[in-house]
C-alpha cells in the first residue's frame, strides 16, 4: 500500500464547469503523476510533478492544469470541462528507492455531461 488517496472518487459535472481532482500521498515521494485511462488507449500521462511547485506536461496536457503546493498533494484542474474529458483519472507516485516503480491511487471516475 503506497498510501495514495484520490478525491472525489466519482464526479458528474456539466460542460464548461471547472473541476479539481485531488491526489494525496502519505510517504513523501518526490514524483507524482496524473494519468487518464480511456477504452482503446493505455494510460496516458497528463502532467507530472518532480517536487513542490515543479511540474511538467505530459502527452495529453491540453485542457488541464496542475498544482503542487505541498509534497503530499497534487491537484489536477479542468478549467472548463468538456465531454472529451470524461474518463477515469489515476494519480501515481514513483518510488525512487524501489526500482523506479509507479504505484497508483484508486482512481476518479469523471463524467462530463
Binding region for other proteins (CB under 8 A): 31, 33, 35, 40-45, 48, 50, 56, 58, 90, 94, 99-107
Q: DSSP of 53-65, one letter per residue?
A: TEEEE-TT-TTEE
DSSP three-state, residue 86: coil
Closer of 14 and 76 to other proteins (Cβ): 76
Closer of 7 and 17 to other proteins (Cβ): 7
Least spacing, CB of residue 16 vs other proteins, in Å: 28
Report the alpha-carbon distance of residue 113 to residue 111 in Å, rounded: 6
Residues ≥6 apart with Cβ < 8 Å to 41: none
Least spacing, CB of residue 80 vs other proteins, in Å: 26
Amino acid at each position: 500500500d503506497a498510501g495514495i488517496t484520490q478525491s472525489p472518487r466519482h464526479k458528474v459535472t456539466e460542460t464548461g464547469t471547472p473541476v479539481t481532482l485531488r491526489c494525496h500521498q502519505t510517504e513523501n515521494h518526490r514524483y507524482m503523476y496524473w494519468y487518464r485511462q480511456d477504452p482503446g488507449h493505455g494510460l496516458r500521462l497528463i502532467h507530472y510533478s518532480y517536487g513542490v511547485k515543479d511540474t511538467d506536461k505530459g502527452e495529453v496536457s491540453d485542457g488541464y492544469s496542475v498544482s503542487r503546493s505541498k509534497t503530499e498533494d497534487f491537484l489536477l484542474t479542468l478549467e472548463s470541462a468538456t465531454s472529451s474529458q470524461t474518463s477515469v483519472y489515476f494519480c501515481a507516485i514513483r518510488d525512487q528507492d524501489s526500482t523506479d516503480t509507479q504505484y497508483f491511487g484508486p482512481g476518479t471516475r469523471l463524467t462530463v455531461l
